[in-house]
Amino acid sequence: MSATDSAVTKNDNDSGLAAKDPAKRRRALLIVTFVLLFAGGLWVLLWLFVFSTRETTDNAYVGGNQVAISAQVPGTVVAILADDTQRVEAGQVLVKFDSTDADVRLQQASSQLAQVVRQVRQQTDSATSADAQVAKARVDLKKAQADLARRQPLIAEQAEAPETVQHLRDSVDQAQASLDAAVAQAAATRAAVEGTEIATNPSVEQARANFRAAWIAARRNNIYAPVTGYVAQRSVQVGNSVQAGQQLMTVVPLHDLWVDANFKENQLRHIRVGQPAKVVADVYGGSAEFHGKVIGLGAGTGSVFSLLPAQNATGNWIKVVQRVPVRIALDDKELDQHPLRVGLSTEVTVDITNDKGAMNAAPGNGQPIAQTDVYEQMANKADEEAEKIIQANLSKRSAN
């Protein structure tokens, strides 16, 4: 083929491609436009039905109560009965102190209580005896008055010597004085026991209180777990000399936990108390999902409550988006199935479909958010032991 024929063929091919390019471009533009419209429509639908109905953050961490275990009395550690990671029950002994001195004081208080009960018993018996003396003095007075009345008419008939009658008058005066003395003595004796039983006598109550204090002080040489949970941060060692108030370990209840989700301030617009929330913990990945609800929003941002709050009223200032902690209550049954630990990272999604609720939590109902009856049981036991001592020292009198 000559050069001229080749040139003609090449020009024909270029003309054909040029004719086809506009059609291909239009087709490509239509496809791209359709894809963009479809993606845009899909995004609008996702926004309307998914993204606009929820707020999500991964700045969320598991929170819980950390109960500090500290000594109530000074002492020397002789035994440690719980270690880190171990589960302890409420009322279980965690640490024991040397109780020699406390036991001695308890024995002294016990003896003092028994002695006071016996003294009050004696005072009660003395009051009864004094009443009997008053009755005897009244009888003696009546007898002396009767003798005087019988002998006095005989003086007019000179049948009785005046000296005899005078002696009788003196006997009456003496009997009256004895009665007055007996009445005064009985009143003084009854003053210590009148109006109360032996067990409720003020002296017995004072001795009971001293025994109760000594009994509780002796029991405080054993440090008890106020709540059920897991031991953490144990710092106490055998032989340590511990002062009152010194922290020895921490007990963390893992049954009643929550999540503090730190949402950005522009995410709080539709978050309300009572909205359902979904929580995914990093420790379980997607294999476990927790369901909770919003129970309150923090009273301020984290920067306000920090040790060194930010000072924004300065010449150089850069706006930083603030975060507010939103507390999410978790379901205890789900926590039993998939236990969590304090401080674990989570991702929280709050359903904000219904945003008609209150942003601030309702006032408290006056019920305690956490409580223990371990120390109340200790006080009740002290009262029971004191009552045993009182009854033991009353039993002989009752038998008589």
Q: Hey, what are 6's tokens? A: 């080749």
Q: Does residue 197 lie in a domain region?
A: yes
177 shares a domain with 125: yes
CATH number for the domain including 195? 1.20.58
Which run of H or of E encompasses 280?
strand 276-281
Domain match, 105 and 213 both? yes
**Same structural domain for residues 271 and 186?**
no
Q: Which domain holds residue 336?
A: 257-364
Mean pLDDT of 58-63: 95
pLDDT tens-digit map of 85-120 = 999 999 999 999 999 999 999 999 999 999 888 877
Asked if residue 3 has pLDDT above 60, the reply is no
CATH number of the structural domain spanning residue 303: 2.40.30.170
Residue 77 in domain: no
What is the per-residue pLDDT across 175-188, written as a single tens digit (0 to 9) for each? 677 666 666 666 65
**Interval 257-285 mean pLDDT:** 93
Same domain, 275 and 358: yes
Question: Quick check: is 307 in a domain?
Answer: yes
- Ranges assigned E (strand) in 81-238: 87-88, 93-97, 222-224, 229-232
Last residue of a domain, one of 218, 247, 281: 218
Q: Is residue 383 part of a domain?
A: no
In a domain, 289, yes or no: yes
109 and 207 part of one domain: yes
Same domain, 214 and 262: no
Q: Give the strands of the sheet with 87-88, arranged side by side.
A: 67-70, 247-252, 229-232, 87-88
- Residues 280 and 327 occupy one common structural domain: yes
In a domain, 146, yes or no: yes
| Amino acid 100: pLDDT | 92
Distance CA 295, CA 97 (A): 42
- The pLDDT > 90 percentage for the chain reads 42
Distance in angstroms (rounded) separating the CA atoms of residues 195 and 190 = 9
User: Does the residue 81 lie in any domain?
Assistant: no
Number of domains comprising the chain: 2
Q: Is the pLDDT of residue 17 over 70?
A: no
Do 269 and 324 share a structural domain? yes
pLDDT tens digits for range 307-350: 888 777 777 778 888 999 999 999 989 999 999 999 999 999 99
User: Which has more confidence, 198 or 22?
Assistant: 22
Confirm whether 23 is domain-assigned. Answer: no
One domain, residues 201 and 268: no
Can you say whether the dihedral through the CA atoms of 343, 349, 354, 355 is positive or negative?
positive
